[in-house]
Structure 1
Amino acid sequence: MEIDYKNVKVIGFDADDTLWVNETYFRDAEMEFSKLMAPYETANTIDQELFKKEIENLSLYGYGIKGFVLSMVESALELSNNSIGNNVIEAILNIGKDMLNKPVDLLEGVQEVLDTLSQDYRLIVVTKGDLLDQERKLEKSGLLHYFHHIEVVSDKQEANYSKLLNHLDIKPSEFLMIGNSLKSDILPLINIKARAIHVPFHTTWIHEQVIANENDNKKYKTVTSLLDVLTILGKNPKD
């Protein structure tokens, strides 16, 4: 099935692992946490318990580094039967602070793609996570001037996107979403008849992993690089 992009007026970009590196830092933090908790459990059990705690806390803390740190603290207390010392709590907090202070490393082609598409489309960011952290990363990225609107949502479901399109006063066929997560950035858009392009990142949080069926795959494009989006939309890089 050929996908028609000619009516697209607004292009939404996911932020983490679409514009810049993010999930890699979480995997590194999990390894540091596992080392801290090694006296109490195996690495596999530590990873499983931390993931369970993160999912349990999503409705309370939402997505982002701060909620992740709180989940690490709670997991550490449970895994150690409340026997960990203040030094371990301090080490966990430092893991979180280190994550918040990481550089914003842009992924390949981001600058070129935004520079080109901003000439013909209204560009926005649609991301989830901690508002302060996402604003910080956008500021540090040097990309803020490309975007007409920044939307930080608690979750990325069909209702969230429909509300956003109403706010932007556009039809689903006039909106294209670009992101790395099938669960958050692609399938909800397909379900509301919008457009979507999947740009996989090499590391994906297990909570974001889904298996798309064959019919779903016919309704969106998957590319290996963000630069491929320019080809799909028939745009040449700005001279």
Structure 2
Amino acid sequence: MELDLSHIRVIGFDADDTLWVNETYFRETEEKFADLLEQYETKNKVDQELFRKEMENLELYGYGIKSFMLSMIESALELSNNNIEQETIHEIITMGKRMISKPVELLDGVEEVLRALESKYRLIVLTKGDLLDQERKLDKSGLSRYFHHVEVLSDKKESNYQHLLDHLEVDVKEFLMVGNSLKSDVLPILNIGAQAIHVPFHTTWAHEVVSPEDHNNDHITLGSLKELLHYL
């Protein structure tokens, strides 16, 4: 579809899986976690129980690797009927630390796009997750200089976006959000009257998947972030 973006003044970018790789590391760790617990349950059952525990803990722990680590430990205890060995708990913690220590791998064309847009628009980062981890990744990415503002949100619902835009004195009609998640980066933005561009990543966390009937056609879907320059 065609969207008129001539009135856009401020562009928000999601971070994980929009600017840099993230979900791939979670999928890799889930595989290793299932291998650790193979004596207790099947891989499919381990995956299901870990996801259930993550959803159960979201309200308490929020998003990010530390929350994921705690959910893995709790799942391991429950699936093993509290018989899990201390060495396995230690390995789960080590896997989480390895995730936190991963180098930041920028997605294709990210810096090219930001460099082209920084003089024309006010660029901001709007992401969710663990504050310390997101600050670390942004610092390692070398992208900080392109952004006027960085915000790590506890969630990405309409109210979170509206409150932030009000705080930054940004008119929703002049705001464009760019991200990989329909649920978090596109639909809430459209619901408050702003515009959004969807740039899918090759893998999506189950919590971020939305059913087809929840989609609408009021946004653009791109094959890569570099295609954004064709519209702006």
TM-score normalised by length of structure 1: 0.95
Shift of 1:2: 3.7
**Letter paired with 2:10:** V
Offset, 1:226: 0.3
Aligned-residue identity in percent: 63
List runs of 5+ in structure 1 lacking aligned partners: 234-239
Residue identity in the other structure for 1:112: E
CA distance in 2, matches of 1:4, 1:231: 12
What stretches of structure 2 of length at least 5 have no aligned partner?
Answer: none
Shift of 1:57: 0.1
Residue 131 of structure 1 aligns with an amino acid whose one-letter code is L
Secondary structure of 1:98's aligned partner: helix
Partner of 2:225, secondary structure, is coil
Letter in 1 for 2:86: N
Q: How far off its partner does 1:7 sit? A: 1.3
CA distance in 2, matches of 1:83, 1:111: 48
Match in the other structure for 1:156: 156
1:199-238 correspondence runs (5 A): 199-213=199-213, 216-217=216-217, 219-233=218-232
Could you tell me how far apart the structure 2 residues matched to 1:230 and 1:125 are?
18
Q: Which residue of 2 aligns with 1:14?
A: 14
2: CA distance, partners of 1:2 / 1:191: 19
RMSD across aligned C-alpha pairs, in angstroms? 1.1
The one-letter code sitting in structure 1 at the alignment partner of 2:187 is L
**Equivalent position of 1:186 in the other structure:** 186
Is 1:81 the counterpart of 2:81? The answer is yes
Task: Give the TM-score normalised by structure 2.
Answer: 0.98
Structure 1 Cα separation of the partners of residues 35 and 215 of structure 2: 43
CA distance in 1 between counterparts of 2:2 and 2:181 reads: 22
Which whole-Å CA distance do the structure 1 matches of 2:49 and 2:59 have between them?
17
The residue identity in structure 1 corresponding to 2:140 is: K
| Alignment deviations for residues 2-50 of structure 1 (CA, whole Å, 9 cap, x no partner) | 4221111110000000000000000000001001000000000000000
2:114 maps to 114
- Find the aligned partners of 1:215 and 1:158 in 2 and give their Cα distance: 16
- Deviation per residue, 1:132-180 (Å, 9 max, x gap): 0000000000001101101100100000010111011121111000000
Instruction: Tell me by how many angstroms 1:216 deviates.
Output: 1.2
